[in-house]
Amino acid sequence: MAGLITLAVAKGHLRITDTDHDVDVQLKLDQAEAAILDYLKPARTGEVRPEWPWTTATLPAPVQAAMLVLLRYLYDAERGDEPSATDPDTVWRVISNLVIRYRDQAIA
């Protein structure tokens, strides 16, 4: 399920105004969306919940924010010139805190 965040929103988040990097931004956006949706899957079944047929209009703001945080990390990590590119633990802590209400907790 990709396409939950538009390229225009992603580029705005990254403060990109030209079209030179559109292919790269779209690739990283697709990767970020997939990773967050995978992170949200119920641990015991590995299936996406039926109540998740989100669209760009219905995507919960915290989930969108998590996708954009990961997009920023992926975009910066490739360049290696931003502080966020060197600290994946902090990135995932932020993501976890954003989407905790949408994530099934593992059964011990």
pLDDT mean by block of 10 residues, the chain; 108 residues: 85 96 96 90 61 81 96 85 71 93 68
Whether residue 44 is contained in a domain is answered as yes
Question: Is 66 part of a structural domain of the chain?
Answer: yes
d(CA 75, CA 96): 19
What is the number of H-type helices and E-type strands within the chain? 4, 0
Give the per-residue pLDDT at 85: 61
Looking at the domain assignment, is residue 79 inside a domain?
yes
In a domain, 75, yes or no: yes
- Look up the domain containing 16 and give its range: 7-102
What's the number of domains the chain is made of? 1
pLDDT value at residue 30: 95
- The backbone region for 15, taken as left when phi is positive above 0, alpha when psi lies in -120 to 50, beta otherwise, is left
Residue 51 in any domain: the answer is yes
* 11: nearest Cα among 25, 23, 30: 25
pLDDT of residue 1: 45
pLDDT score of 108: 45
The verdict on residue 71 lying in a domain is yes
What is the pLDDT at residue 2? 55
Tell me whether residue 108 is in a domain: no
Residue 41's pLDDT is 77
pTM for the model: 0.83
> What does each C-alpha distance from 58 to 47, 78, 106 come to in angstroms?
20, 30, 26
Q: Is residue 21 part of a domain?
A: yes
Cβ atoms within 10 Å of 61's Cβ, excluding its own: 8
